[in-house]
Structure formats: structure tokens, C-alpha cells
Amino acid sequence: MTDVIIPQIASGEYAHAHEEEHGPSGLMKWITTTDHKVIGISYMITSVVLFYIAGLLALGIRVQLTTPHGTFISFQQYNQLFTMHGSIMMYLFAGPFAFGGLANYIVPLQVGAPDMAFPRLNALSYWLYLGGSVMMLLGFVVAGGAADFGWVAYAPLSTSTYTPGAGQDLWIMALVLTGFSAIFTGVNLVATIFYLRAPGMTMFRMPIFTWNMLVTGILILIAFPVLTAALVMLFADRHFGTKIYAVTGCHTVTGLVDIHACGSAVLWQNLFWFFGHPEVYILALPYFGMVTEIFPVFSRKPVFGYKGMVFATMTIAALSTGVWAHHMFTTGTVLLPFFSLMSLLIAVPTGIKFFNWIGTMWRGQLVYTTPMLMSIGFLLAFLMGGVTGVMLASPPIDFFVHTTYFVVAHFHQVLLGTAVFGGFAGLYYWYPKMFGRMLNDRLGKLHFVLLFVGFWVTYIPQYILGLQGMPRRVASYPSNLGWQSWNVASTIGSFMIAASFFVLLVNLWVSWRYPVLAGDNPWDGHTLEWFTTSPPPHHNYLHLPTIRSERPTWDYNHPDAPNIRHGGGAGHPNGHGPYKGGDGAGPPGRGNGATGSAREVPAT
Amino acid sequence: MKIESSFLLGVGTFFGIIAISYWFTAYEDGGTMMLVGVTALGFVPGLYYYFWHRRFNGYKYFFWGRTDRVVGTRPEDRSDATIEEGAGVVNSFPGSSVWPFILGSGAFALLLALVFGLWLALIGASLILTALVGVTAESRRGGNH
């Protein structure tokens, strides 16, 4: 063990253990690492690889649907494709990329901690996640193929009567592994934020991203145990003869249904969506946090309505746990007014966030770098997904469009808006911190343009198809309904999205082959992670600035900056006001502008 | 600690109210049980942090029990704290450890056994046991640097 000690030294020096790791090297170093930065990057690489795999599966789906009676793949393969596309994107990319990848890397830096609270548990999370991912993909090589009951695995379709086979079992076990992985990461995030903050980093000085990850951590602890338990019961139904969800084999000899011998298929839906809807916000809140870091930096202003943002996040998370049955309106077994009201209420805190994001940009000096463009893309994409979400929260509309392409378009707009626009905004934004080199801004903008145009071309036709009645999860459709042209348009859009991610690969290659050094703070960032070196040293900080507001690095670099804080509270005794200079501040001008030019931080 | 405890107690209170209103409107068991679980998830750690908040701030009583040892407010909870106030041991962090990998591999094999055959469970269980012994021994002797 390395004791991380802060020695008693004056003038804001804050020395974590300086010594480098003396562990093994090479592959063994990666296998035995407990450093949150290495684990975070491993998480990101794994999840992005899986994102590309799931993207290819989506292209297969789109190619199949370009003609009414597509023969590109068989119907069974089609079922496997949309199941694995959804499962990989939801369980293995969008969540782990945020809370295992970026949050793992950034949260300890943002609160001034030397590592996550439980480094070995953190490493275990990654190995369970990797094992789960491999296990899910193994489905493609076993007899019968991968799971094909949809990413929601509705009972009784998911019971062994209707979908036997090893692929389905692998899917269940993979989710048990990744579920534990997520729970461990949630515990780690909450403990790190509660116990390892730097002196002066009060809760209401934490960056919004860290706040969102705290709330996400709690949501993980609420949601994932329910999924894991539900999956264990599903597995027991499939193999151990229990009848928790099963509805077959419960007839008496006279043909009547013995209700005591029968399971409840709707119970699966209740359990699944009690996980599934908070899961949507587990996937959304981290990305809300990322863009909330990006807007202020590239508007050259503090975030508008800091506390409003924090309370909006909490409200969204709280409400999101009380809306699960809005996915089950058409089962006829749920209390429509309760779930409709709770779902509609989520629009209020989300609206507050939108106004605050716009308020942050309002009259700012906007700098249109790739992260900023991606964040603006997020704003528009998520707005469209959110508005159609409000429509779907209304039972009469939901009855009409349930299980059609309208729902598919809605949740793809929500999830691409957050996990893709927000997530890759975060990647472009923090990549210089992680690797000490820039991503090319021109290629980044090309990535953005292709993605943004492709996004609308793909999903607007799907809304129309949904309103025209095209059901989801079908591999063919009648040719006389006029659906083909919209499907072709949607397929063209999906290939534009694919092209945009090819540009990202080129950009990563360029950055690896022709590095442009980033320096410690290429964006003139506000929060603590921009104070340390890029990439940060072992245990993160050699020294820390005095923390007097929610943007300590900005205060340190701009001690004479005018107070442009929104609202009241300047110099408020609880420390939310601007930093006025004075105690322990360093020389001005350590920020190096937004140009991305390299500049070494003076040795400390 | 005050904000941490208020945050979690808020989670518990909100879901307590939702659980009660859900039960009396929907009469549905599964959802109510899960909401009760979330209420506990808020209250149990929330009360723990509230206890520490009382101690840190010098209150003598926590409900019916005495909190005789007053620790003092943590520097990360005070807005005027200087960095030097955090001086001292933060925590012990392992430099590197192979046991998470072994434990993860064991869990992978154990769950795979449920799909492919119980012979894999032997490998999985052995790896898990080895890792549990290994990680305990590592912690006891002070770990790897």
C-alpha cells in the first residue's frame, strides 16, 4: 500500500505521494493496476469498441429494412441483431462509458482526490464488466446464436419454452456480471465524493459533473440490484423449474388455470422497468453533467444557476424512479394517472436545465470548438427526444404509437442526444487531459457535421413511419404501404452516422501519429482537473490551489477577472461567490487560452 | 457531512411519501416493495451520516444516545478551509494488485458454469477462493507498493 500523505507545508502546497508505482510492467501492469485513470481509460476503450460493434449491428438492421422483403439476413438473425444492438448499446456502452470511463477518470480529479475510495473494488468492477461483455458476445458463437428476445427480455418470451438456447443464458449471466460491476462503481463514486474531497471543496462547490455522478451513483444503487435479482429469477425459471414469470404448465388436468401454479409475466415488466427507467437517467445524467462542464468553459462564463442545476438533477433522478410503469401503459394493469403525472413532471426540472444551459451561453463569448458543437448538438437532439417523451407520457398518445417506430425514434433521439453527442463532447473535451495531446479540431467538426445531419436524416423518417403504423422489431413489411422511401432515407442517415464515426477513428489515429501537445489547461478550464498536469501524475496532484468557489482553477489563473457571476451571492460567506484574490493565489496568466497551443506549467 | 446526510435523508423521505401514495392508489405489491427498499436505501446511510454530522458539530445527543466524542468539522465541509488543513494521512491506496483480476476471472468462470457445465464452477470457485485469501493476506501485510 502507498500511504497518501499531505505534509504540513505552507502556501497551498498539497503533496500527494510523489513516488511512482513500483509494480510490474507491461501487460501485468495493466492487469494489476488499481489506478483510477488506467481503469477509466480501459473502460472507455472497451466501451467504445463495443459501441462500434453495436453500430455495425445497427447497420445490418437498416440494410435489411431498405427493401420491404429484405433478404440481407434471416428473420432469426434479425432478432439477434436488434437484441444485441440494444443490449450492447444500453448495458455495455452508454452506462459504462459514463460511470466506468469518464466519471472514473474525472471525478477523483474534480474533487481533488488521489484515487477512487476503493481502488481494488474499482479494478474488480472493470474485470467484471469486461467478463460480462465477452460473455454477451460469446452468444454469437454458440449453437442457436445470440439472445433474440429483445433488450428488455419480456417474459414469457424469455422463458425456456419460447427461447431456449445458450445464447439467452449467456445474455442473462452477462448482465448479472455487469450489474455487479455497476453496483461496485456506484458505491465507489458515492464514497469518493463523500470522503475524499480536498479541503475547502464543499458539496456546493463541486463541479456539476461530479454532482451528477453522485446522483447517478445513488440511482445505480437503486436500480441495478433490482435488475440483478430479476435476472436471477428469470434464470431460475428457465432452468430450475420455478414459476415466477412462467405462464405455461400451470393448467390443471381439467384444463383450468391454477393460479397458484402460475407465475406473473407482468411481474417481469414491473421489475425490469423499475430498473429500466432509472437506467435511462443513469445514461442521461452523466452526459448532462459533461455538457454542463463544457458550456461555461466555451462561453467564458460561470455556469448559470449552479444550485438550480444541482436541484434539477436531484429532482429528475427522484422522479425517474417513480415512472417505471409508463412503459407498461398498454398492459392495462397499471395506474395510468399516477405514472402519467410523474412522467410529465420530469419535464419541469429538465426544462430548468435547458434554460440554465441557454442562460450559460447567453451573452457569453462563445468558442465553437468540437466539444462545444457536440454540446449544442446534444441540446437540440435531446430537446427533440424530450418533447416526444412528453408526448409518450400521455396515455392516449402512448396507446396509439406503442410498439411502433415512433417509440424507436424517440428513445434513439434521447440516447444519441445524451450518450453520443454528450459522451463524445466529453471525450473531445477531456481527451487532452487524459493523453496530454489534442484531437484535431477540423476532423472533430467534420465528425460533428456528419453525425448531426445523419442523426436527423435517420430518425425523423422513423417518427413518420411510427405515426403511419410501422411496428418495431419487424424484419419485413408490406410493400404497398409507402414505407419503403422513409426506410431508405433512414438507412442513408444511419450510414452518415457510421461515416462520422469513421472520421473519429481517423482523428484518433492522427492524434496518435502526429501528436499536438495539449499542455495542462488547453481550454482555460474552470474546474480542478485542469490544474494538474496532462496526463496527471500518479495520485493526481502535486499541489492544489486554494478552493474558494466552484471553479478553483479559473480563480487561480484569473485572480483579477471581473465578477460576472449570475444572480446574487457574490462573496457570500458560504463561499459561492467569486474568488477575490489573496490567500495563496499564484501568478496570473497561467491559463493559456483556448487555442490548444502547448504550454508547460512551471515546475512545482 | 450535513449536506451528505440531508441528501440521503431527502431520498428516503421522498420515496417514503411515494411508496405510501403508490400503495394507497395502486395497491400493487411489487412496486410498493421496491419503493420501500429505496426508502431504506435513503434512510439507513442517511441516518449514519446524520450521526456523524452531529458528532462533528459537537452535539451531545443523537436521538437517545450520547455522542460524547466531538471530532470537529472536516476541512472539506468548511468553505474557508485551507489546503494545509487536510495535512496528514488521507488513506492507504494499493499500488497494484492482481487479486481483482483473479476474482473477476473466477466470477466469469463461475457464471459461465451455469451455461456450459458445472466443471467450470470448479475453476471459478477455486479462483474466487484464492483471490479472497490473497486479497486478505495482501491487506494484512500492507499490500503491494
Grid coordinates representing A585 are 493565489
Give the pLDDT confidence score for residue A250 in this predicted structure: 73
Lowest mean pLDDT among A308-317, A414-423, B2-11, B55-64: B55-64
Per residue in A589-602, pLDDT (tens digit) is 333 333 333 333 33
pLDDT at A283 over 50: yes
The DSSP secondary-structure symbol of A584 reads T
Contacts of A62 (CB under 8 A, 6+ apart): A490, A491, A494, A495
Share the mean pLDDT of chain A: 87
Non-local CB neighbours of A341 within 8 Å, separated by 6+ positions: none
Test B38 with A222 for CB contact under 8 angstroms.
yes
pLDDT at A263: 81
**Strand, coil or helix: what is A483?**
coil
**What does the pLDDT read at residue A572?**
37
Inform me whether the C-beta atom of residue B98 falls under 8 Å from chain A C-beta atoms: yes
| Contact residues, chain A, for B103 at CB < 8 Å | 124, 127
3-state secondary structure of A404: strand
Q: How confident is the model at residue A2 (pLDDT cuts 50, 70, 90)?
A: very low
Instruction: Kindly list the distances between the CA atom of residue A361 and the CA atoms of A189, A297, A300, A366, A575, in Å, as whole numbers in the listed order.
Output: 30, 10, 9, 7, 24
* Distance of alpha carbon B101 from alpha carbon A438, whole angstroms: 32
**Interchain pair A200, B10: CB under 8 A:** no
Higher pLDDT, A244 or A15: A244
List, for residues A126-139, the tens digit of each pLDDT value.
Answer: 999 999 999 999 99
pLDDT tens for A192-237 read 999 999 999 999 999 999 999 999 999 999 999 999 999 999 999 9
**Which is more confident, A587 or B35?**
B35
What's the pLDDT score for residue A156?
86
Q: Is B82 on the interface with A (CB under 8 A)?
A: yes
**In B9-128, where do the E strands start and end?**
61-62, 65-66, 88-93
Question: Above pLDDT 90, what percent of chain A?
Answer: 73
Q: Which three cell numbers stand for residue A303?
A: 455556469
Output DSSP code: residue A527: S
Q: Check residues B59 and B14 and name the one with the higher pLDDT.
A: B14
| 3-class secondary-structure state, position B45 | helix
Q: Which of B6, B90, B135, B141 to mutate to test the interface with A (most CBs of A within 10 A)?
A: B90
A514: Cβ contacts below 8 Å, ≥ 6 apart: none
Chain A closest CA to B87's CA: distance in Å?
4
Q: Flag if A120 and B114 touch (Cβ within 8 Å).
A: no
Residue with cell 419454452: A161
pLDDT tens digits, residue range A523-563?
Answer: 999 999 999 998 999 889 888 898 988 889 998 998 877 65
d(CA A290, CA A375): 9
Residues A47-58: tens digit of each pLDDT:
999 999 999 999
- Sequence-distant (≥ 6) Cβ neighbours of residue B16 within 8 angstroms: B39, B42, B43
The span from the CA of A220 to the CA of A171, in Å, is: 20
Question: Which chain A residues have a beta carbon less than 8 Å from that of B3?
Answer: 202-204
| DSSP label of A203 | G
Nearest to B26 among A22, A335, A584 (CB): A335
Residue A180 is predicted with a pLDDT of 96
Read off the pLDDT of residues A53-84 as tens digits, 9 standing for 90 and up.
999 999 999 999 999 998 999 999 999 999 99
Which among A24, A131, A539 is the nearest to B96, CB-wise?
A: A24
| Interface list for B 5-24 with A (CB within 8 A) | 7-8, 10-11, 14-15, 18, 21-22
d(CA A561, CA B73): 32
**How distant is the Cα of B83 from the closest Cα of chain A, in angstroms?**
5
Round to whole Å and give the CA distance between B32 and B47. 22
Q: What's residue A577's pLDDT?
A: 39
Query: Which amino acid, one-letter code, is at A506?
Result: V
**Do A579 and A12 form a contact (C-beta atoms < 8 A)?**
no
On whether any CB of chain A is under 8 Å from the CB of B118, the answer is no
Question: Among A149-158, A450-459, A561-570, A583-592, which stretch is predicted with the lowest mean pLDDT?
Answer: A583-592
Q: Give CA angle at A281 (A283, A190), nearest 5°.
A: 80
Alpha helices in A240-346 (DSSP H): 265-299, 306-320, 336-345
Write out chain A residues lying below 8 Å of B81, CB-based.
Answer: 199-200, 547
Best residue in B7, B84, B132, B144 to probe A by mutation, most A CBs within 10 Å?
B84
* Amino acid identity for residue A449 in this structure: V
A123 closest CB neighbour out of B80, B97, B114: B97
Asked whether residue A481 carries a pLDDT value surpassing 70, the answer given is yes
A397 has a pLDDT exceeding 80: yes
Look up cell 426544462; give the residue: A351
Chain B residues lying within 8 Å of A194, measured CB to CB: 4, 49
Q: From A138, which residue of chain B is nearest by alpha-carbon distance?
A: B112
pLDDT in tens, A143-190: 889 999 999 999 888 988 888 889 999 999 999 999 999 999 999 999
Query: Do the beta carbons of residue A73 and residue A65 sit within 8 Å?
Result: no
**Residue A251: strand pairing partners:** A257
Residue A333: its pLDDT value, please? 83
- Closest chain B residue to A25 measured between Cα atoms? B96
Measured between CB atoms, which of A34, A117, A267 is closest to B97? A34
What is the per-residue pLDDT for B67? 64
Q: Contact, A289 vs A354, CB < 8 A?
A: no
pLDDT band at B85 (very low <50, low <70, confident <90, very high): confident
Judged on CB neighbours under 10 Å (0-12, 13-18, 19+), B63 is: exposed
Partners of residue A303 on adjacent β-strands: none
Can the peptide bond before residue A535 be classed as cis, meaning omega within 30 degrees of 0?
A: yes
Under an 8 A CB cutoff, do A199 and B79 touch?
A: no
Residue A256 confidence (pLDDT): 75
Query: Where does the pLDDT of residue B36 fall: very low under 50, low under 70, confident under 90, or very high at 90 and above?
Result: very high
Q: Around Cβ A148, how many Cβ atoms within 10 Å? A: 24
Over residues A102-125, the pLDDT tens digits come to 999 999 999 999 999 999 999 999
